[in-house]
């Protein structure tokens, strides 16, 4: 069963430009409504077995979540400028909410997605989500608590010996968290793709951490090779063109980054969706690297030339390529798939997910 994406760049451009203008005029208050319009348009133009998806999210409920995030952001900004120690305490107190926001975003997005009159669900628990974050967050929490203690103790955080020692400890904590975040990204994807539910069908991810590591090693290799080639070409251009080689070198760097991003996108989508299964549904993904990088390069060039106005066309083209690379096989008739009623789910996490500090793609 193929997936088709029937949206057009010109149609989405009209939606996008109206969304942009209304968001600016309302000082950002229209953003949840703009996002709901975009999601509804993209869902309704995603056909799975000739039946479109549907989006049922209430933008008014989404607005409450965005207002909550805006208030928290303003409070932090004020405290950071007036009472840095209070701002640090706020970070320590709100850090444990990050898993809840992400979990809420996943549940909200999935529960408001429909297909053939059925509603999807995400049945992963909040407890499971917190377990994923504990190894990465613990070192950062230790570092943050230490700074709060130093600030509340009245020590000079810029010159005192304890502060300098704790700066070194903080660096070690950050490095430890960065190393653990590599594993966290996989665990989050595993969690995401092992808890989609459509009636009695519950997905599982058959790929392993070893498979993920192999892809990441290849990505590092592509990045290293691309860096070597870019550096060599830049050095040659410097000898031939002198100062004129600078802009060309910058362009070369961004081309290399596009290749790396495209390689990561293609390999990870094929790994994740190509390994997603349920009892009667098997997913496949065949996203090809060369057409993807070519499209991304075209999108980047035209977006720059048009000062950003090509972005809606780029978004539609990229989404089409990614979605139409995915297909699924059913071992039972469609009529045997039964959905269930889904209650209202808080939309606060949807707003927090837009910040997306971990880069988790809840759409794919």
Residue 364 is assigned to a structural domain of this protein: no
- The whole-number average pLDDT for the span 233-245 is 70
**Predicted local confidence at residue 357, as pLDDT:** 44
- The whole-number average pLDDT for the span 334-357 is 56
Distance CA 217, CA 200 (A): 37
Using only C-alpha atoms, the chain has a radius of gyration, in whole angstroms, of 23
Distance CA 183, CA 210 (A): 11
Global pTM value: 0.81
Distance CA 201, CA 189 (A): 18
- The whole-number average pLDDT for the span 310-335 is 91
Residue 345 is assigned to a structural domain of this protein: yes
Residue 156 is assigned to a structural domain of this protein: yes
Please report, for residues 71, 104, 262, the alpha-carbon distance to residue 112 in angstroms, rounded to integers and kept in the order given. 25, 12, 29
Range of 88-97, 101-110, 230-239 with top mean pLDDT: 101-110
With a cut of 70, say whether residue 158 has pLDDT above it.
no
Distance CA 139, CA 299 (A): 39
- Which residue's structure tokens are 């107190």? 93
Domains contained in the chain, number: 1
> Which one is predicted more confidently, 209 or 157?
209
Residue 360 is assigned to a structural domain of this protein: no
- The whole domain housing 112 covers 3-355
Residue 362 is assigned to a structural domain of this protein: no
> Which one is predicted more confidently, 249 or 50?
50
Residue 211 is assigned to a structural domain of this protein: yes
């Amino acid at each position: 069963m193929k997936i088709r994406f029937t949206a057009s760049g010109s149609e989405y451009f009209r939606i996008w430009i109206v969304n942009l203008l209304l968001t600016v005029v309302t000082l950002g208050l229209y953003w949840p409504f703009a996002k709901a319009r975009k999601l509804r348009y993209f869902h309704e133009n995603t056909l799975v077995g000739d039946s479109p998806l549907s989006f049922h999210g209430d933008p008014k409920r989404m607005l409450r979540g965005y207002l909550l995030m805006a208030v928290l952001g303003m409070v932090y900004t004020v405290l950071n400028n007036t009472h840095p120690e209070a701002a640090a305490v706020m970070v320590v107190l709100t850090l444990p909410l990050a898993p809840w926001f992400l979990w809420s975003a996943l549940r909200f997005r999935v529960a408001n997605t429909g297909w053939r009159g059925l509603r999807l669900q995400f049945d992963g628990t909040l407890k499971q989500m917190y377990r994923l974050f504990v190894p990465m967050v613990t070192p950062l929490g230790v570092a943050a608590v230490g700074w709060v203690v130093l600030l509340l103790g009245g020590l000079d955080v810029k010159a005192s010996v304890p502060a300098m020692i704790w700066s070194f400890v903080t660096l070690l904590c950050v490095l430890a968290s960065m190393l653990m975040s590599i594993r966290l990204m996989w665990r989050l994807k595993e969690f995401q793709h092992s808890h989609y539910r459509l009636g009695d069908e519950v997905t599982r991810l058959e790929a392993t951490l070893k498979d993920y590591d192999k892809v990441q090693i290849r990505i590092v290799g592509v990045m290293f090779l691309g860096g070597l080639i870019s550096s060599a070409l830049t050095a040659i251009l410097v000898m031939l063109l002198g100062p004129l080689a600078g802009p060309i070198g910058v362009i070369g760097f961004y081309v290399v980054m596009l290749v790396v991003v495209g390689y990561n996108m293609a390999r990870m989508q094929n790994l994740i969706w190509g390994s997603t299964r349920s009892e009667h549904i098997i997913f496949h993904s065949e996203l090809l690297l060369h057409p993807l990088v070519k499209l991304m390069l075209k999108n980047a060039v035209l977006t720059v030339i048009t000062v950003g106005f090509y972005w809606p066309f780029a978004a539609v083209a990229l989404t089409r390529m990614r979605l139409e690379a995915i297909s699924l096989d059913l071992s039972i008739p469609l009529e045997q798939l039964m959905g269930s009623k889904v209650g209202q789910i808080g939309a606060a996490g949807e707003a927090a997910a837009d910040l997306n500090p971990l880069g988790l793609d809840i759409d794919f």
